[in-house]
Amino acid sequence: MKRKPRLLASFTALYVLWSMLPVAIAVLFSFNSGRSRSTWQGFSLRWYWGDPFSSVWHDDSLLRALRNSLVLAALTILVATPLGVGLALGLTRWRGKPARVANGILLLPLVTPELVVGTALFLVVTNSYSFLDLGRPAQLVGHVTFSLSYVVIVVRGRLLSIGPDLEEAARDLGASPFQAVRMVIVPLLTPAIFASAVLVFATSIDDFVASSLLSSGAGSETVPVKIYGSVRGGATPALNALATIMLSASMLALVVVFAIMRVMRRRQGDTNAGENSLKELASW
């Protein structure tokens, strides 16, 4: 009979260790009581708020990066989610060649290196779109542009599984097209919309290239840009603390998305909702 694949199992275990341990160590060092990011000197919360000058809580530049990241992510959600939902609704109705072209364009940001998109936006903002300033407005545009694709993919997937029947039934019962969408489709889409909003949040706070190319100096630095700028210098563990805070935010987002998807699947009568949601998460 079948042998137990010991070798593969230990390889996988090693991989998991390798992928997680460095990050865990970085988190650990955010609690270091000394100034070093590589020599352990005991536990403290000094770099979160204890230190009166350079803890995250007291260092203006770190705090500003945190605020910039969160504000930018919130704005991106506000713009990208409704836009993406509208686009998904439109794309499922729209047939023929233009729709295919539109579809292709929508997928392009996913396969273009971010550097190319970022450069393009940087050049257009500095040269011709004088109504956009570098800094938060330009960063917002950049983030919306690539998170839009995610929203459309998630929402459209859900739309396809709902199918046209319910909307047609609503129309037969006398609803206007607008009413049918508002009263039937949107409520059914709500979980998917929430999930995509959280996804947008996660991509936005993690983004580095667009935020960095389109920033206008220290005032609009986000957390990843701040990390990038100070990691090679003599930064204190406060940098690790800042990264740890953002890490918690991403993990929270992941848990929320997972919970929403599980509820969605349960309602559809999926008996193995947990694992199937995981698989769907893995497929993005």
Partner 1 sequence: MAWMALFFIVPFYSVAAVAFGQVDPIRQSAVPEWNPRYWDFTLFTDVMHRVVNGDLGTVFIRTALYVVLAVAGCVVVGYPVAYFVSREAGKWRAALLVLMILPYWVSYLMRMLAWVNLLQPQGWMAQLLSHLPAGNRNWLSGQPITVVFGLVYGYVPFFILPLYATLDRIDGRLLEAARDLGATSRQAFWRVTLPLSRQGLMAACVITALPMVGDYYTNNLLSASPRTEMVGNQIVFFLQQTTQPQVGASLVLMLSAALLVVMAGYLVSVNRAQKLVTR
Residues 156-215 that bind partner 1 (CB under 8 A): 202, 205-206, 208-209, 212-213
Closer to partner 1 at the Cβ: 66 or 184?
66
The one segment of 59-67, 108-116, 156-164, 185-193 that binds partner 1 by CB under 8 A: 108-116
100 binding partner 1? (CB under 8 A): no
Contact yes or no for 26/243 (Cβ under 8 A) = yes
121, 126, 129, 130: CA torsion to nearest 10: 150
128 binding partner 1? (CB under 8 A): yes
**Interacting residues with partner 1 between 215 and 234 (CB under 8 A):** 223-224, 227-228, 231-232
Q: Give the side-chain half-sphere CA count within 13 A for 189.
A: 29
Closer to partner 1 at the Cβ: 74 or 123?
123
70 binding partner 1? (CB under 8 A): no
Minimum Å gap between C-beta 57 and partner 1 is: 19
Q: Pick one of 43, 52, 74, 119: the residue that binds partner 1 (CB under 8 A).
A: 119
Minimum Å gap between C-beta 186 and partner 1 is: 20
Q: For residue 118, which phi and psi values (nearest 5 degrees)?
A: -60, -45
Residue carrying structure tokens 């100070």: 230
Contact yes or no for 145/109 (Cβ under 8 A) = yes
What does the alpha-carbon distance between residue 145 and residue 123 come to, in Å, rounded to a whole number? 15
DSSP 8-state code for residue 3 = P
Closer to partner 1 at the Cβ: 253 or 264?
253
107 binding partner 1? (CB under 8 A): no
The one segment of 49-57, 98-106, 165-173, 177-185 that binds partner 1 by CB under 8 A: 98-106
270 binding partner 1? (CB under 8 A): no
Minimum Å gap between C-beta 14 and partner 1 is: 9
Three-class HEC string of 10-70: HHHHHHHHHHHHHHHHHHHHCCECCCCCCCCCCECCHHHHHCCCCCCCCCHHHHHHHHHHH
- Number of residues assigned to the chain: 284
Site size toward partner 1 (CB under 8 A) is 79
